[in-house]
Homo-oligomer: A and B are copies of this chain.
Amino acid sequence: MSDQLIQPRTLSGFRDFLPEAMIPREQLMETARRVYRSFGFVPIDTPTLEYAEILCGKGSEETDRQMYRFMHGKRDVAMRFDLTVPLARFVAQHQNELGMPFKRYHIGTVWRGERPQAGRYREFAQCDFDTIGTTSIASDIETVLVINDLMRGIGFEKFTIRLNNRKVLNGILQKADLAEQSVLVLRALDKLGKIGADKVKEEILKTTHATSQQADCILQLADISGTTAEVIEQLGTLCDGNELAEQGRNEISEVVNAAATVGLNDDNLAIDVSIARGLDYYTGTIVETFLDDLPSFGSVCSGGRYDNLAQLYTKQKLPGIGASLGLDRLLAAMQQLEMIPPTRTTADVLIIQFEPGDIEKYLAIAADLRTAGICTEVFPESVIRDGKFKSKKLNQQLKYANRRGFPAVIIAGSDELEANIVKIKWMEDAKETEVPLKSGSAEIVEWLAQRLN
């Protein structure tokens, strides 16, 4: 071997996930899968690499610039930068096999070569669900219910799903005769929460040909607030006389009413008529999700309804609705809120190993516990230290258990095993209990099952 070591390091913007980060990350993905499946969404996966023309097709200049794109032999290829473009390609390619409506979830890694900064990575996971091939309000309602179950499943109670409908915005733009300048108006309106109504009006007057009256018409939206019932009432007057706006209002109302029947009420649902989520992609229902305890954190689950998913790849019009759970953002939030226990083990119990000769007895206990659903690690008796192998003493093994966060440790030397007992040490209070080891490990299982969740 050459003496020249290669420095172990990762690329800027890329991360290793150590166990203490990966354990809650896997749990979060499992919760998402469980919730998606409970509504009948099915999993798919698509390739990491696609023909660059497929991924560029829909991209803005920004996504084009951020794409990891290279030549592989004669092929111009790129790594996916989101899961929506691949979904569009996928549905266009397989629509006959899939059948419509098609409800899918997709948890996958995406890559964007943007400048790395705090909380922004070049490689991150997305966690999307979509219902394609239907304009039914049933799927708008379901989208909100899925988000509710996701948030509760993850462990949040204090969150708010903010609901809006692009038809309300577009209808009111029509009413104010500003539909042609919607991009500029919405760009200004998006800043409402940050800069206030006066500044928004100033911007509208400066960037568009709107009169003060037209701007005021739009800014009526800014005054709308209150409970869902109150907002719907206020929207009544505002939307009256414009078919599109009325339709949007009715859709909001239907979603709110249906959500209430399954217990999703104003505690966790609000109407926010100012959110637009980008300028032209969404066409109906829009949702964002905020954490009440971290109001400035931004949305952790967002999405909405679109008219035509795959127009670049097929003439078949494919409307749908979907949302994306911000996995890495959520984890960061949970860390801040101290919702993640600092565990570095997946096992409930560590069996201390004294005599290598007793390994078969330890393994038998471990097998019994696993059969009973208790994850069990047997400590390997030697460890590397200062380049040499040394056998580990009891307190070193206990330190290992402690450092990794095992709830319980089973301690049994040859004497104990001979006498058919083990000691179980509950790490939280360091109390030791003697438990008999009779036929199998039934008593140990019983003792542990009572204390572990």
Which segment of A96-104, A158-166, A167-175, A243-251 sits at the interface?
Answer: A96-104
Kindly identify, within residues 18 to 68 of chain A, every residue whose CB is under 8 Å from any CB belonging to chain B: 18-19, 22-23, 25-26, 30, 33, 36-51, 53-54, 57, 68
Q: Indicate if the CB atoms of A40 and B347 lie closer than 8 Å.
A: yes
Oligomer: number of copies: 2
In this assembly, does A72 line the interface, its C-beta being within 8 Å of a C-beta of chain B? yes
Contacts of A133 in B (CB 8 A): 383-384
Q: Which of A19, A92, A123 has the most CB of B within 10 A?
A: A19
Question: Which chain B residue has the least Cβ–Cβ distance from A122?
Answer: B49
Contacts of A38 in B (CB 8 A): 347, 370, 375-376
Q: Indicate if the CB atoms of A1 and B311 lie closer than 8 Å.
A: yes
Q: Indicate if the CB atoms of A42 and B19 lie closer than 8 Å.
A: yes
Question: Nearest Cβ in chain B — how far from A271, in angstroms?
Answer: 18
Q: Indicate if the CB atoms of B384 and A319 lie closer than 8 Å.
A: yes
Q: Indicate if the CB atoms of A142 and B378 lie closer than 8 Å.
A: yes
Q: Indicate if the CB atoms of B380 and A40 lie closer than 8 Å.
A: no
Given A10-B50, A45-B16, A136-B380 contact (CB < 8 Å): yes
How many Å lie between the Cα of A230 and that of B134 in the bound state? 66
How many Å lie between the Cα of A5 and that of B314 in the bound state? 6
Q: Which one, B99, B135, B353, contacts A389 given CB within 8 A?
A: B135
How many Å lie between the Cα of A453 and that of B330 in the bound state? 34
Q: Which one, B14, B48, B136, contacts A47 given CB within 8 A?
A: B14
Beyond A37-B375, A42-B346, A48-B109: 17 further Cβ-contacts under 8 Å? Answer: A1-B312, A8-B93, A8-B310, A22-B44, A22-B45, A26-B33, A37-B347, A39-B347, A39-B366, A41-B346, A68-B72, A70-B72, A100-B383, A138-B359, A138-B381, A257-B360, A261-B364
Of the A-B pairs whose beta carbons lie under 8 Å apart in the complex, a sample of 22, sorted by A's number, is A1-B311, A6-B54, A10-B50, A14-B48, A16-B94, A37-B346, A38-B375, A38-B376, A39-B347, A48-B79, A48-B109, A49-B111, A70-B70, A99-B400, A100-B384, A101-B379, A101-B383, A101-B384, A138-B359, A142-B378, A145-B363, A145-B367
